Amino acid sequence: MFIISALKTALSPLAANNFWQKLPRPFFALAPMYDVTDAAFRAMFAKYGRPDVCFTEFVSAEGLASEIGRSKLLRELYFTDKERPIVAQIFGARPEAIEAAAGLVVALGFAGVDLNLGCPDRAVEKQGAGAALIREPSLTKEIIAAAKAGAGGRPVSVKTRLGYHELETEAWSRALLEAKPEAITFHLRTRRELSAVPARWPEIRIPVALAAGTETVIIGNGDVRDLDQGRHLAETYRVPGVMIGRGAFGRPWFFSGQAEPPLARRLAIMLEHTRLFWDLYGATETNRSLFGGHQKNFAVMRKHFKAYVSGFAGATLLRAKLMTAQNPAEVESIIKPLL
According to DSSP, the β-strands at 241-244 and 112-117 are: unpaired
Q: Tens digit of pLDDT for each residue in 178-192?
A: 999 999 999 999 999
How large is the average pLDDT for residues 208-231?
Answer: 97
Q: What distance in Å separates the CA atoms of residue 121 and residue 129, rounded to the nearest whole number?
A: 10
Q: Is the pLDDT of residue 12 over 80?
A: no
- Mean pLDDT score across all residues of the chain: 94
Nearest to 82 by CA among 259, 252, 290: 252
Q: What distance in Å separates the CA atoms of residue 2 and residue 6, rounded to the nearest whole number?
A: 6
Q: What is the pLDDT of residue 308?
A: 97
Q: Using the 8-state DSSP alphabet, how is residue 136 labeled?
A: -
Q: Tens digit of pLDDT for each residue in 143-179?
A: 999 999 999 999 999 999 999 999 999 999 999 999 9
Q: What distance in Å separates the CA atoms of residue 128 and residue 208, rounded to the nearest whole number?
A: 28
Q: What is the pLDDT of residue 72?
A: 85
Q: 196-229: b or e for each residue (b if 16 or more CB lie within 10 Å)?
A: eeebbbebbebbbebbeeeebbbbbbbbbeebee
Q: What is the pLDDT of residue 256?
A: 96
* Region class of 150: left (phi > 0), else alpha (psi between -120 and 50), else beta: alpha
Start and end residues for every CATH 3.20.20.70 domain found in the chain: 2-256
Q: Is the pLDDT of residue 7 over 60?
A: no
- 159 annotated binding-site participant: yes
Per-residue CA distances from 253 to 54, 269, 317, 338 (Å): 14, 10, 25, 20
The residues carrying an active-site annotation are 119
Q: Tens digit of pLDDT for each residue in 53-76?
A: 999 999 999 999 988 888 889 899
Q: Tens digit of pLDDT for each residue in 15-63?
A: 348 999 999 999 999 999 999 999 999 999 999 999 999 999 999 999 9
- 187 annotated binding-site participant: yes
- 165 annotated binding-site participant: no
Topology of the domain comprising 2-256: TIM Barrel (3.20.20)
Q: Using the 8-state DSSP alphabet, how is residue 109 labeled?
A: T
- 130, 91 contact by CB (below 8 A): yes
Which residues are 188's β-sheet partners?
none
